[in-house]
Structure 1
Amino acid sequence: MRGNVFLRYVLPALIALPIGFLMLYPQLLRCMRIADTNGYQALPGLPNVYVNQSATTHQQRQFRRHVLTARDRIRRFWGDRRGQATLIYCPKQADYEQYCAGGEGAGCSIGTPWGDAYLILGPDGNNADVIAHELCHDELFARLGWWRVKRQIPQWFNEGLALMVDYRFSSPLTWEQPDSSLQYQLPRNTLNPMPHALHSMLKLADLETTRDFFGGDYRHTMLAYQTSAEEVTRWLALVGRSGVPALTNAIAEGKPFADTYQRLEREKRSAQKRNGKRNL
């Protein structure tokens, strides 16, 4: 009887779910077939990195350099690098739109419930900051899995964390000295060099889901980025870089995000108070 139920209901559902998923997201299907797609070539020496053949030699050299810089930044930020996402570089907007729904922004990431991940970089994505931003999303997926990230990690933290390695929107002095990809020293008071004059902040409770974060107009999205960047900057400045893997390790063991996030902060404040008393 159980065997009949499995064959009649469970097995068809298991087959239909991934097929339906791919039909709803044709961009994902294109990403999955990138190795066999005409017009794209693997970048020699960099596994799982594909470049549209319209990229000039100069663009390919730049992209290689930026990928290496971004990967090194991720390794230093997290302590090691576990993400294995496939990178796809599209120098032309029309090609970018084939792999990134809507074709907005400089880059986007696609993760799947079965563990595959793809990072698509558009015409403005040949940049170490953009690549590091997308790789940070992938690192979170690699450590916690698609389901846990979607269900337990608030979008403000996911985006805020990625902004910590994206020096377009945050200061590297939050967690390190600037690396060789920077052409100048950011001033120490530049904690949030957002390119727009934004005033009223949003509540973190209103930025929990992807729809909350990106569902409004352009100004809302920029405010969402600013809010998340300032909160994660504050938290990271207190708990230190080691707090990031400590948080993800605890969540991987089944601990709730909010409790762990607050506990790490409390422990750091308590340690600072104890050290302060010893120095009196």
Structure 2
Amino acid sequence: MSHTELLKRLGWWKITTQVPQWFNEGIALMLDNRFVSNPDRIGKYIDYMDEWLYYTRGGQEILELENIQSVKGFFNGNQQYVMLAYMTSGLEVSYWLIFAGNNGFEIFLDQMNQGSSFSESYHRTEQTSHFKRSKRLPVNPLRLPDSDKTDK
């Protein structure tokens, strides 16, 4: 249903050319509770972190968001790869939704419909949040600089 809703709200062309597949699938995961069913926003992110850590073998086999932007990139592998793609999407989108807030998805859609790019809309929505970053919220490893993702 979320895929249909995105299509209805943004149109086929924007979905096909601007919205990364990881976001499309990540939004779907937030609604269908397929892998994580925690109703609390922060709890959902932490549960996705646990799943992501399992599928990445403790963060050793990371799948970057840039590698799963297209449908082909998202589904271009074996079952383990596709599950990791889903967990990566769930991790990122659940994190984003904490900061986007209750109206964040609507704000995001409005900005895209007003001509902003996906990236601009995504980051702007997150930055306008009233949620304050907490020391108790684990850092999203997908957002670490590349230099921090490797052993020195």
> What band does the TM-score fall into relative to the shorter chain?
0.7 to 0.9
Residue in 1 that maps onto 2:47: 191
Task: Label 1:242 to 1:190 Cα distance change in 2 as closer, same or farther (>3 A).
Answer: same
Query: Counterparts of 2:80 and 2:104 in 1: how far apart (Å)?
Result: 31
Counterpart of 1:213?
74
| Residues 198, 139 of structure 1: alpha-carbon distance in 2 compared, 3 angstrom cutoff | same
Q: CA deviation at 1:256?
A: 0.4
Matched letter for residue 198 of structure 1: Y
Q: 1:257 to 1:272 in 2, by over 3 A?
A: same
Q: Corresponding residue for 2:84? A: 223
Could you tell me which of 155, 178, 200 is aligned with 2:21?
A: 155
Closer, same or farther: CA 197–191 of 1 in aligned 2, 3 Å: closer
3-state SS in 2 of match to 1:268: coil
Matches of residues 10-21 of structure 1 in structure 2 within 5 Å?
A: none
Q: Deviation at 1:145?
A: 0.7
Distance in 1 between residues matched to 2:53 and 2:68, nearest whole Å? 19
Cα distance in 2 for partners of 1:190, 1:169 equals 13
Report deviation, 1:261. Answer: 0.8
Between the aligned partners of 2:124 and 2:23, the Cα distance in structure 1 is 16
Q: Per chain length, whose mean CA-contact separation is higher, i.e. which structure has more relative contact order (CA < 8 Å, sep 6+)?
A: 2
Larger radius of gyration: 1
Q: Number of paired residues?
A: 127
Distance, in Å, in 1 between the alignment partners of 2:85 and 2:102 is 23
Q: CA deviation at 1:234?
A: 0.4
TM-score scaled by length of structure 1: 0.41
Letter of the 2:96 partner, please give it. W
Cα displacement (A) at 1:194: 4.6
- Residue 231 of structure 1 aligns with an amino acid whose one-letter code is E
Q: Which amino acid aligns with 1:258?
A: S
Q: Does 2:15 match 1:174? A: no
| 2:63 and 2:85 in contact (8 A); partners too | yes
Give the aligned residue type for 2:47.
L
Letter paired with 1:261: Y
Q: Which ranges in structure 2 are unaligned for 5 or more consecutive residues? A: 134-152
Number of the residue aligned with 2:128? 267
Identity, % of aligned pairs? 36
Q: Is the 8 A contact 2:68 2:85 kept in 1?
A: yes
Match of 1:110 in 2: none
| Preserved contact between residue 164 and residue 172 of structure 1 (Cα < 8 Å) | no
Secondary structure of 1:191 counterpart: helix
Higher strand proportion? 1
TM-score (norm 2): 0.74
